[in-house]
C-alpha cells in the first residue's frame, strides 16, 4: 500500500480514466488477483462505440485468457487471424506472414477453447463489440464502471494526483490513478509529461466500413489473413471483422497527403480504384459512406509513471499501424500496470525497482516497434511517390538498407528485451527478421546469420553487472537474474538462460548443439523439441548480435551452418 495512504481516506483504491481495452484490462486483472480492491473506470463515452484498430497479434489471446474473457470474445465469432498478406519491399509479388502454417491449421468447430492451435492465432475484431465485451467483463469482475462520465480536471500537488474533477462537479479520489484515455493523454498532459515523437513518421489514416466484401481467402473455419497492399503513395489495409463487415483503410504520410490537394473522400476512392486486387473484393460490396480520418503519429511518453499514477495504452505511446501492434501494446502495458500496483501493495519488492522496471520495459516496447516501423517504410521500394521520404527517414535514423546493416540496426538490444526469454520483436521471431532483411535488401544480396560458419562461441560477460528484470505470472512479478552491459540486457531466463548454461559448459559449436538438445529434451515434449531448439539457436544469435557471445572459426572443429528459413514467411 502506498506510504501514508489509508484505504478509508479515498473513494477508491484505483481510478482508471478510459474504458477501452487498456482500462478494462487493468481493472479486470486488479480485481482478479486482489478482489478487495475498489476500482472505478471512468469512460467519457457510452458503449458500444466505434473505434479503429481492429487487427490483433497472438499475445493478446493469452492476456484475454488470463482476464477470463476469452470465451466471450471467441463467442462473438470474430474472424481468426492467421497472419497477413503483403505487397511490400522491392518486389510487387504478394507474400504471406503466418502465425502458424495454414496447412497445419486444423478444421475445428467454433466457439473453441484457448488451447492447441488457438494459442498461436489472433482475432480481427469489430471494436464496438470487442471493447463493449471487455468493459462489461470488467464490471462483472467488480469494477465500478461509469460510462458517459467526463473527467474535467486533474487535481495535483507536485507529481502527486489528489483527485479527479468530473463534469458534474464531483471529485473522485484514489490511491492510484491510471491514464487509459488514449492519445488524449488526459493525465499525461495534466502532469506535464512530454512525448518523444518521430517527426518523419507522421502518417494519417482514412477508412470506412463495408458490407458484403469478399474475403481474400478463407482458411479452415473462420480463419483468414489481413491484407496489406502497397500503393505509390501509401498502403491499404483490408480487415474482415465478421461474416459481412470489413474495415478498409488507407495510410499515407501526412505531408504528402497535404501536397496531393485531395479531400479524404477523394483520396480514399482513388486508393481503392488504384489497388485492383482490393477493388475486386469490393466489387459487389456497399460502403457505409462515411470516410473517417485520424493521425497516426508515432510517439512515446517521456515517462510512464509518477508518484501515484501510471500511463497505459496510447496515453503511454503509439507505434505506426503497419505492424498491427497497437492493441497488443495496450493490453500488455495495462497488464503490467496492474501487476505493478499489486506488487506495490504487497511491498515485497523495492518500490523504485518496480516503477523503473515498468517504465523502462514499456517505453522500450513502444520504441522497438517504432524503430521496426521505420525500417518497414524505409525498405518499401513500391511506394514510388515517397522515395525521398523513405530515403530521408532511413538517413535520419542512421539506417543503411543492405541486409547485414539493416538487420543489425533493427536487432540492437531488441531481441533480448521485448519478450522475456524469447528472441522476438512483436510477432516476428529472429529467423523471420533475418528473412525480412534479405527480402527488403536494396542490392538483393543475402545476409547470413552472425553465428553461421563459426565453430567456437565464447560467452562474453566481462564488465557485466548482475541485476534483475521482471517475469509476470499469475498476478506476481518474479525477479529474474539479468546481466547488464551498457544498454544491453541478457535475462538468464528460458531460452537465453538455457543457452548461457550450455555456454558455461562448452564453447565448441558441435558440443553446444548436443548439450542444448539434451537440455531441451528434458524440458519439452518430443513434439515441441524442434521448435524449442530453434529458439535456443535464435537466442545464441541474439547474444552474438549484442556482444554477449564472441564467434570464432577453428578449422579443426566443425562449424555451425545455418540454412533454415522462416516457416512463417512465404511467397504467393
Give tens-digit pLDDT for 520-555. 999 999 988 998 999 999 999 999 988 999 999 999
Burial class (CB in 10 A: 0-12, 13-18, 19+), 462: exposed
Least confident of 36-50, 97-111, 221-235, 239-253: 97-111
Residue 463 pLDDT > 90: yes
Residue spans of alpha helices (H) in 276-350 = 276-281, 326-346
Least confident of 57-71, 93-107, 129-143: 93-107
d(CA 513, CA 560): 9
Please state the pTM of the whole predicted model. Answer: 0.93
Please state which CATH number belongs to domain 11-359: 3.50.50.60
Least confident of 235-244, 266-275, 393-402: 393-402
In the predicted model, what is the mean pLDDT of residues 167-175? 97
What's residue 373's pLDDT? 86
What's residue 272's pLDDT? 97
What is the CA 211 to chain-centroid distance, rounded? 29
What DSSP state is assigned to residue 508? B
Residue 493's contacts (CB-CB under 8 Å, 6 or more residues apart) are 420, 421, 469, 471, 480, 481, 482
d(CA 290, CA 553): 62
Question: What is the signed CA dihedral for 542, 200, 311, 469, rounded to 10 degrees?
Answer: 10
What's residue 124's pLDDT? 97
What is the CA 256 to chain-centroid distance, rounded? 27
Residue 449's contacts (CB-CB under 8 Å, 6 or more residues apart) are 434, 541, 562
What's residue 504's pLDDT? 98
What is the CA 524 to chain-centroid distance, rounded? 27
pLDDT, mean over the chain: 90
Q: Where in the chain is the domain with CATH 3.50.50.60?
A: 11-359
d(CA 307, CA 286): 51
What's residue 562's pLDDT? 85
d(CA 367, CA 369): 5
What's residue 449's pLDDT? 87
In the predicted model, what is the mean pLDDT of residues 241-259? 94
Burial class (CB in 10 A: 0-12, 13-18, 19+), 75: exposed
Residue 411: half-sphere exposure toward Cβ, Cα within 13 Å:
30
Give tens-digit pLDDT for 300-337. 999 999 999 999 999 999 999 988 999 999 999 999 99
Three-state DSSP string of 92-117: CCCEEEECCCHHHCCCCCCCCCCCHH
Give phi and psi for 154, each to the nearest 5.
-110, 115
Name the percent of the chain lying above pLDDT 70: 89
What is the CA 547 to chain-centroid distance, rounded? 26
CB neighbours (10 Å) of residue 259? Answer: 11
Phi-psi map region of 89: left, alpha, beta (phi>0 left; psi -120 to 50 alpha): left
Query: Bigger pLDDT: 391 or 62?
Result: 62
Give tens-digit pLDDT for 101-149. 888 899 999 999 999 999 999 999 999 999 999 999 999 999 999 999 9
The grid coordinates listed for 405 are: 546493416
Give tens-digit pLDDT for 78-89. 999 999 999 988
Give tens-digit pLDDT for 405-462. 665 666 565 555 666 767 776 657 788 877 877 777 766 667 788 999 999 999 999 9
Q: Provide the pLDDT confidence category of residue 376 given band limits of 50, 70 and 90.
A: confident
Amino acid at each position: 500500500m502506498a506510504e501514508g495512504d489509508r484505504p478509508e481516506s479515498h473513494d477508491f483504491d484505483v481510478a482508471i480514466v478510459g474504458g477501452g481495452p487498456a482500462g478494462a484490462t487493468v481493472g479486470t486483472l486488479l480485481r482478479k488477483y486482489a478482489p478487495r480492491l475498489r476500482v472505478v473506470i471512468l469512460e467519457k463515452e457510452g458503449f458500444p462505440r466505434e473505434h479503429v484498430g481492429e487487427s490483433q497479434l497472438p499475445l493478446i489471446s493469452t492476456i484475454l485468457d488470463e482476464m477470463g474473457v476469452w470465451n466471450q470474445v471467441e463467442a462473438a465469432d470474430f474472424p481468426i487471424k492467421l497472419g497477413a498478406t503483403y505487397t511490400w519491399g522491392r518486389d510487387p509479388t504478394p507474400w504471406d506472414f503466418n502465425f502458424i502454417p495454414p496447412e497445419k491449421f486444423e478444421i475445428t468447430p467454433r466457439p473453441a477453447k484457448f488451447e492447441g492451435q488457438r494459442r498461436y492465432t489472433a482475432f480481427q475484431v469489430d471494436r464496438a463489440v470487442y471493447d463493449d465485451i471487455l468493459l462489461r467483463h470488467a464490471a462483472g469482475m467488480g469494477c465500478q464502471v461509469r460510462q458517459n462520465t467526463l473527467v474535467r480536471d486533474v487535481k495535483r500537488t507536485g507529481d502527486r494526483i489528489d483527485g479527479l474533477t468530473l463534469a458534474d462537479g464531483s471529485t473522485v479520489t484514489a490511491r492510484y490513478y491510471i491514464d487509459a484515455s488514449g492519445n488524449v493523454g488526459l493525465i499525461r498532459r495534466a502532469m506535464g509529461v512530454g512525448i518523444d515523437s518521430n517527426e518523419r513518421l507522421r502518417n494519417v489514416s482514412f477508412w470506412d466500413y463495408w458490407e458484403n466484401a469478399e474475403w481474400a481467402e478463407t482458411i479452415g473455419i473462420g480463419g483468414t489473413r489481413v491484407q496489406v497492399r502497397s500503393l505509390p503513395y501509401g498502403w491499404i489495409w483490408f480487415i474482415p471483422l465478421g461474416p459481412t463487415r470489413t474495415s478498409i483503410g488507407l495510410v499515407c504520410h501526412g505531408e504528402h497527403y497535404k501536397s496531393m490537394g485531395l479531400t479524404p473522400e477523394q483520396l480514399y476512392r482513388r486508393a481503392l480504384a488504384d489497388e485492383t486486387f482490393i477493388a475486386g473484393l469490393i466489387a459487389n460490396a456497399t460502403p457505409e459512406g462515411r470516410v473517417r480520418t485520424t493521425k497516426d503519429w508515432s510517439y512515446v511518453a517521456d515517462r510512464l509513471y509518477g508518484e501515484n499514477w501510471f500511463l497505459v495504452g496510447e496515453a503511454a505511446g503509439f507505434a505506426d499501424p503497419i505492424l498491427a501492434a497497437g492493441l497488443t501494446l495496450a493490453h500488455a502495458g495495462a497488464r503490467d500496470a496492474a501487476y505493478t500496483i499489486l506488487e506495490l501493495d504487497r511491498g515485497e519488492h523495492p518500490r523504485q525497482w518496480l516503477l523503473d522496471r515498468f517504465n523502462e520495459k514499456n517505453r522500450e516496447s513502444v520504441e522497438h516497434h517504432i524503430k521496426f516501423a521505420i525500417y518497414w517504410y524505409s525498405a518499401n521500394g513500391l511506394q514510388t511517390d515517397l522515395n525521398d521520404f523513405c530515403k530521408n527517414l532511413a538517413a535520419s535514423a542512421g539506417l543503411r538498407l543492405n541486409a547485414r546493416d539493416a538487420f543489425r540496426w533493427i536487432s540492437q538490444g531488441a531481441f533480448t528485451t521485448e519478450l522475456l526469454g524469447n528472441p522476438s520483436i512483436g510477432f516476428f521471431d529472429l529467423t523471420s527478421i533475418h528473412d525480412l532483411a534479405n527480402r527488403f535488401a536494396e542490392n538483393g544480396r543475402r545476409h547470413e546469420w552472425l553465428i553461421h560458419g563459426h565453430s567456437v562461441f565464447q560467452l562474453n560477460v566481462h564488465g557485466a553487472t548482475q541485476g534483475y528484470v521482471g517475469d509476470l505470472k499469475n498476478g506476481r512479478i518474479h525477479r529474474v537474474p539479468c546481466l547488464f552491459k551498457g544498454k544491453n540486457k541478457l535475462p538468464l531466463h528460458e531460452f537465453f538462460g538455457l543457452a548461457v548454461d550450455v555456454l558455461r559448459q562448452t564453447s565448441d559449436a558441435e558440443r553446444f548443439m548436443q548439450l542444448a538438445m539434451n537440455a531441451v529434451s528434458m524440458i519439452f515434449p518430443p513434439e515441441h523439441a524442434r521448435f524449442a531448439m530453434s529458439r535456443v539457436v535464435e537466442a545464441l544469435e541474439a547474444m552474438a548480435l549484442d556482444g554477449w557471445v564472441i564467434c570464432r572459426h577453428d578449422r579443426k572443429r566443425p562449424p555451425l551452418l545455418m540454412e533454415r528459413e522462416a516457416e512463417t514467411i512465404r511467397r504467393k
